[in-house]
Amino acid sequence: MKKEDHLKLHALLSNIDGECLERKRKNLDKYRHLATEWHHTDEAREVSRKNWHKSIGLYMDQMIVLECDLCGKQYETNIMMRDHSMFCSNKCKSAYRRSIGVDDIERVCIVCEKIFPINKYSKTKTCSRKCSAKLMLLKRNGIRSIN
């Protein structure tokens, strides 16, 4: 029997017999931990080193041209990343994240204690220029922290 016909037969039987699929799942659950253990052995590492060029190695040098989702510029990326790559640079990725507010949090101003929205990676401690000026004046006069 050809390999393709054999696989089709198994697929057909799985669709007819719902129990077949359940038996396969139970069987996999029984042996999955053994596969995980084996993959951490020196033997598995050696097999991977010898065979990587037959699997993932086939795609390492293949590049594809994509268009940046933010600026529209075309850029080149590895073919394996075609479903994950969206931006031509970290600059565009960061600008996109800022524009949708994915990293925004609420912070309390250390001068007036007002709550204000800000990017969590920003070092800003005050809600406005007015509060910032007050903080600088206080620091200049010797007060190191307000809390």
Q: What share of the chain is helix, strand, coil (3-state, %, to 5)?
A: 55, 15, 35
pLDDT, tens only, 76-132 = 998 888 889 999 999 999 999 999 999 999 999 999 999 999 999 999 999 999 999
Phi first, then psi: give them for residue 101, nearest 5 degrees: 75, 25
Does residue 18 surpass a pLDDT of 70?
no
Residue 94's pLDDT is 93
Q: Which of 136, 111, 135, 107 is nearest to 123 (CA)?
A: 107
pLDDT confidence bin for 142, thresholds 50/70/90: confident
Alpha-carbon torsion (70, 76, 77, 80), positive or negative: positive
From CA 90, how far away is CA 77, in angstroms rounded?
14
The rounded mean pLDDT for the chain is: 87
137: three-class secondary structure by DSSP: helix
d(CA 77, CA 65): 6
Q: For residues 32 and 42, what is the distance between their CA atoms, to the nearest angstrom? A: 18
Which of 15-24, 62-71, 119-128 has the least mean pLDDT? Answer: 15-24
Which amino acid is residue 90, in one-letter code?
Answer: N
Query: What pTM was computed for the model?
Result: 0.53
User: Residues 6 or more apart from 124 whose CB is under 8 A from it?
Assistant: 107, 118
Q: 16 pLDDT exceeds 60?
A: no
DSSP secondary structure, 14-36, as one string: HHH-HHHHHHHHHHHHHHHHHHH
